[in-house]
Chains A and B, each alone.
Chain A
Amino acid sequence: MPRRLAVPAAIVIAAAIGIWYFTRVSDDTAEVRRRLDALSAAVNASTTDGRGPAARANEFGSFFTDDVEIDLGTGTSPIRGRATLISMAERLQPRTAAFKLKFEDVSVVVNPEGTQADVHLTAEFIRRDLVSGGESLDAREFTLVVQRSSHGWQIRRVTAVDTLK
């Protein structure tokens, strides 16, 4: 290759690599965000859609890895394993049906290999009073480790963050 073409060629190659890397990372980040949106949609889905609690709990469980660990902070025992989580979700559905879940201020950082993402977010729990119709809001900060698997992106760890210590 003539020397005068070497520099432009190197720039073009570097730009192509950069665009490929940025696009890939952006795609992964967007995919993780979509999964989180789908998780909140699954939690908020109507309980009058004809599906039983077991089916809904199983769908909820599909967002998590088999070995998921959930640490909700001081005063609660960690939840370990998807089977435990599904069982809890099934039992608690009559109570959780009164809540709406919304994720705010979601930041996603995917590792360079594209296998794992660190997520930081605020979860809003909006509770509707069935008698008055009024809503009350509670919010909690969480970090998540989300892992790419053969089933797509799944949550491997959830840790509550104490904003106020």
Chain B
Amino acid sequence: MVLAVICFVTFRWVLVPIRTEGASMLPTYQTDRLNLVNRLAYVGGGPQRRDVVAIQMAGPHVLYVKRVIGLPGERVSVVDGIVNINGAALDEPYVKHRRPWQVDEVTLGTNEYFVIGDNRGMAAGDHDFGRVDASRILGRVVF
């Protein structure tokens, strides 16, 4: 009984299972796989660069899974597929394929992060990415 309660609490409010769909996080996250979101990951502080986070839309049942590349206050741009943070190229070993995406520089607000998928081999127009308010970040994808 106690174990059941612990499991219920853990998988309901702490390590929330999600099923990833789509190609935007390839090759790091394959489509139709189960992953876990740690909802307590950012209790003591915000996301770090390169964290993979779950971002909620209208609620917690449909989420984006994206990688944080820009932190609050930073300037972010993409030039020929290379992400620049405050004018310096970002090392992204998890990106295996790149198309020459171009994204004009944006300056993030005090509560904003810039998130993007790992699959840069797809057309930029088919890929959802951009600024997100910290309040939408549900937690860190840990598995």
Interface residues of A (CB under 8 A from B): 104-107, 120-122, 124, 136-142, 161-165
Q: Could you list 16 further interchain pairs (A-B, Cβ under 8 angstroms) beyond the known A105-B60, A137-B22?
A: A104-B58, A104-B62, A105-B58, A120-B58, A122-B61, A136-B21, A136-B22, A140-B57, A141-B57, A161-B58, A162-B130, A163-B132, A164-B55, A164-B66, A165-B130, A165-B132
Residues of B within 8 A of A (CB): 21-22, 55-62, 64, 66, 115, 128-132, 136
Which B residues are in CB contact (< 8 Å) with A140? 57
With known contacts A136-B21, A136-B22, A163-B64, A141–B128 Cβ distance under 8 A? no
Of the listed residues B60, B61, B64, B66, the one surrounded by the most CB atoms of chain A closer than 10 A to its CB is B61
The answer to whether B58 and A164 touch across the interface, beta carbons within 8 angstroms, is: no
How many A-B residue pairs have C-beta atoms within 8 angstroms? Tell me: 54
A124 and B115 CA atoms in complex are apart in Å by 21
Closest to B23 in A: A136
Of all chain A residues, which has the CB nearest B63? A139
Give complex CA distance A28, B21 in Å.
34
Q: List 12 A-B contacts (CB under 8 A).
A: A105-B57, A105-B59, A107-B59, A121-B58, A122-B59, A122-B61, A122-B62, A137-B22, A140-B57, A161-B58, A163-B128, A164-B132
Residues in chain A near residue B136, CB distance under 8 A = 163
Find chain A residues with CB under 8 A from B64 CB: 163-164
